[in-house]
Protein backbone atom coordinates (compact mmCIF):
# COMPACT_ATOMS: atom_id res chain seq x y z
CA UNK A 1 0.00 0.00 0.00
CA UNK A 2 1.10 3.55 -0.57
CA UNK A 3 1.44 5.90 2.39
CA UNK A 4 -1.78 7.62 1.34
CA UNK A 5 -3.62 4.29 1.27
CA UNK A 6 -2.26 3.34 4.69
CA UNK A 7 -3.30 6.67 6.25
CA UNK A 8 -6.75 6.58 4.67
CA UNK A 9 -7.31 2.95 5.73
CA UNK A 10 -6.23 3.48 9.35
CA UNK A 11 -8.24 6.71 9.61
CA UNK A 12 -11.33 4.97 8.23
CA UNK A 13 -10.92 2.03 10.63
CA UNK A 14 -10.55 4.45 13.56
CA UNK A 15 -13.56 6.44 12.40
CA UNK A 16 -11.55 9.66 12.01
CA UNK A 17 -11.53 12.29 9.30
CA UNK A 18 -8.09 13.05 7.90
CA UNK A 19 -8.15 16.45 9.60
CA UNK A 20 -8.44 14.75 13.00
CA UNK A 21 -5.95 11.97 12.26
CA UNK A 22 -2.46 12.32 13.79
CA UNK A 23 0.73 10.80 12.39
CA UNK A 24 3.98 10.79 14.36
CA UNK A 25 7.38 10.42 12.71
CA UNK A 26 11.06 11.06 13.20
CA UNK A 27 12.19 14.40 11.81
CA UNK A 28 14.71 13.12 9.26
CA UNK A 29 15.76 14.18 5.77
CA UNK A 30 14.90 10.68 4.53
CA UNK A 31 11.25 11.34 5.43
CA UNK A 32 10.77 14.49 3.32
CA UNK A 33 8.70 12.76 0.61
CA UNK A 34 6.48 11.10 3.23
CA UNK A 35 6.10 14.42 5.04
CA UNK A 36 5.02 16.10 1.82
CA UNK A 37 2.40 13.39 1.22
CA UNK A 38 1.07 13.75 4.77
CA UNK A 39 0.82 17.52 4.43
CA UNK A 40 -1.16 17.15 1.18
CA UNK A 41 -3.55 14.78 2.97
CA UNK A 42 -4.14 17.38 5.67
CA UNK A 43 -3.42 15.13 8.64
CA UNK A 44 -1.97 16.36 11.90
CA UNK A 45 1.78 15.70 12.08
CA UNK A 46 4.03 15.37 15.11
CA UNK A 47 7.73 15.50 14.23
CA UNK A 48 10.04 14.11 16.89
CA UNK A 49 13.84 14.45 17.04
CA UNK A 50 14.19 10.92 18.43
CA UNK A 51 12.09 8.36 20.24
CA UNK A 52 10.67 6.11 17.55
CA UNK A 53 10.03 3.45 20.21
CA UNK A 54 7.86 5.87 22.16
CA UNK A 55 6.17 6.92 18.91
CA UNK A 56 5.21 3.33 18.17
CA UNK A 57 3.98 2.76 21.72
CA UNK A 58 1.93 5.93 21.99
CA UNK A 59 0.20 5.20 18.68
CA UNK A 60 -1.27 2.06 20.31
CA UNK A 61 -2.58 3.80 23.42
CA UNK A 62 -6.21 4.92 23.10
CA UNK A 63 -6.79 8.60 23.82
CA UNK A 64 -3.08 9.43 23.30
CA UNK A 65 -3.95 11.66 20.37
CA UNK A 66 -1.53 9.76 18.12
CA UNK A 67 -2.94 7.40 15.53
CA UNK A 68 -0.02 6.14 13.43
CA UNK A 69 3.79 6.04 13.37
CA UNK A 70 5.44 6.06 9.94
CA UNK A 71 9.01 6.29 8.75
CA UNK A 72 12.36 4.61 9.05
CA UNK A 73 14.07 3.98 12.36
CA UNK A 74 16.63 1.40 13.44
CA UNK A 75 16.26 -2.37 13.64
CA UNK A 76 16.89 -2.85 17.37
CA UNK A 77 14.38 -0.12 18.15
CA UNK A 78 11.80 -1.85 15.92
CA UNK A 79 12.20 -5.05 17.93
CA UNK A 80 11.85 -3.24 21.26
CA UNK A 81 8.84 -1.29 20.00
CA UNK A 82 7.25 -4.50 18.70
CA UNK A 83 7.27 -5.90 22.23
CA UNK A 84 5.24 -2.94 23.54
CA UNK A 85 2.97 -2.90 20.48
CA UNK A 86 2.22 -6.58 20.96
CA UNK A 87 1.54 -6.08 24.70
CA UNK A 88 -0.95 -3.34 23.77
CA UNK A 89 -2.68 -5.39 21.07
CA UNK A 90 -1.46 -3.12 18.28
CA UNK A 91 -0.22 -3.87 14.80
CA UNK A 92 3.21 -3.15 13.36
CA UNK A 93 4.61 -3.78 9.90
CA UNK A 94 8.33 -3.30 9.27
CA UNK A 95 10.61 -3.64 6.26
CA UNK A 96 14.34 -3.12 6.04
CA UNK A 97 15.00 0.46 4.92
CA UNK A 98 16.93 0.62 1.68
CA UNK A 99 18.62 3.91 0.87
CA UNK A 100 21.15 4.81 -1.80
CA UNK A 101 23.19 6.80 0.72
CA UNK A 102 23.40 3.83 3.09
CA UNK A 103 26.46 1.72 3.84
CA UNK A 104 26.69 -0.53 0.73
CA UNK A 105 27.57 -3.59 2.83
CA UNK A 106 24.71 -3.20 5.32
CA UNK A 107 22.20 -5.33 3.40
CA UNK A 108 24.77 -8.10 2.94
CA UNK A 109 25.51 -8.08 6.69
CA UNK A 110 21.79 -8.33 7.45
CA UNK A 111 21.40 -11.24 5.03
CA UNK A 112 24.35 -13.04 6.65
CA UNK A 113 22.58 -13.02 10.03
CA UNK A 114 19.33 -14.33 8.55
CA UNK A 115 17.34 -11.17 7.87
CA UNK A 116 15.19 -11.32 4.75
CA UNK A 117 15.71 -7.78 3.47
CA UNK A 118 12.67 -8.00 1.17
CA UNK A 119 10.17 -9.31 3.73
CA UNK A 120 7.59 -7.31 5.69
CA UNK A 121 7.83 -8.33 9.34
CA UNK A 122 4.95 -8.12 11.83
CA UNK A 123 5.03 -7.45 15.57
CA UNK A 124 4.66 -11.22 16.16
CA UNK A 125 7.80 -11.95 14.16
CA UNK A 126 9.83 -9.18 15.82
CA UNK A 127 8.66 -9.91 19.38
CA UNK A 128 8.32 -13.65 19.62
CA UNK A 129 6.59 -15.34 22.47
CA UNK A 130 3.34 -15.23 24.37
CA UNK A 131 4.75 -13.84 27.62
CA UNK A 132 6.43 -10.47 27.17
CA UNK A 133 7.33 -7.46 29.28
CA UNK A 134 8.10 -3.94 28.10
CA UNK A 135 9.43 -1.35 30.54
CA UNK A 136 10.68 2.19 29.94
CA UNK A 137 11.61 5.25 31.96
CA UNK A 138 11.54 8.77 30.57
CA UNK A 139 14.93 10.42 30.29
CA UNK A 140 13.98 13.36 28.08
CA UNK A 141 10.44 14.66 27.60
CA UNK A 142 8.56 12.80 24.92
CA UNK A 143 5.11 11.79 23.73
CA UNK A 144 4.97 8.71 25.98
CA UNK A 145 6.78 9.75 29.15
CA UNK A 146 7.92 12.93 30.83
CA UNK A 147 11.67 13.29 31.21
CA UNK A 148 13.68 13.29 34.43
CA UNK A 149 12.80 16.32 36.54
CA UNK A 150 15.68 17.51 38.71
CA UNK A 151 14.89 19.32 41.95
CA UNK A 152 16.92 20.70 44.81
CA UNK A 153 16.89 17.41 46.75
CA UNK A 154 16.85 14.87 43.92
CA UNK A 155 14.88 13.89 40.86
CA UNK A 156 11.54 12.50 39.72
CA UNK A 157 11.47 9.71 37.11
CA UNK A 158 8.33 8.46 35.38
CA UNK A 159 8.12 4.92 34.03
CA UNK A 160 5.74 2.57 32.27
CA UNK A 161 5.60 -1.21 32.27
CA UNK A 162 3.28 -3.44 30.27
CA UNK A 163 2.84 -7.18 30.11
CA UNK A 164 1.50 -9.84 27.80
CA UNK A 165 -0.72 -11.87 28.04
CA UNK A 166 -2.53 -9.90 30.77
CA UNK A 167 -2.39 -6.55 28.96
CA UNK A 168 -1.57 -4.90 32.29
CA UNK A 169 -0.14 -1.39 32.03
CA UNK A 170 1.55 0.14 35.06
CA UNK A 171 2.67 3.74 35.31
CA UNK A 172 4.91 4.85 38.14
CA UNK A 173 6.61 7.92 39.49
CA UNK A 174 9.83 7.48 41.46
CA UNK A 175 11.29 10.16 43.71
CA UNK A 176 15.06 9.90 44.09
CA UNK A 177 16.51 11.55 47.19
CA UNK A 178 20.16 12.23 46.41
CA UNK A 179 21.38 13.11 49.93
CA UNK A 180 20.49 9.73 51.38
CA UNK A 181 21.62 7.61 48.45
CA UNK A 182 25.22 6.30 48.34
CA UNK A 183 25.57 6.83 44.57
CA UNK A 184 23.21 9.73 43.79
CA UNK A 185 24.60 12.01 46.53
CA UNK A 186 27.51 12.85 44.18
CA UNK A 187 25.02 14.85 42.06
CA UNK A 188 24.34 17.40 44.82
pLDDT 10s per residue in the chain (188 long)?
A: 899 999 999 999 999 999 999 999 999 988 999 999 999 999 999 999 888 899 999 999 988 999 999 988 778 889 999 999 999 999 999 998 887 777 878 889 999 999 999 999 999 999 999 999 999 999 999 889 999 999 888 899 999 999 999 999 999 999 988 888 888 777 77
DSSP letters for 83-101? HHHHHTT---EE-----TT
What DSSP designation does 185 have? G
Burial class of residue 33, CB neighbours in 10 A (0-12, 13-18, 19+): exposed
Q: Which of 124, 172, 178, 169 is nearest to 151 (CA)?
A: 178
pTM: 0.85
Break the chain down into helix, strand, coil percent, rounded to 5.
35, 25, 40
Amino acid sequence: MTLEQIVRTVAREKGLSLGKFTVIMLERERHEIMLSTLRKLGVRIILIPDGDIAGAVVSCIPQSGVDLLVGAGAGPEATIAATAVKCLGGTMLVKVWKDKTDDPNRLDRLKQVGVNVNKTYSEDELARGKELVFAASGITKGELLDGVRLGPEGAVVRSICMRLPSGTIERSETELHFKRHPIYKQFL
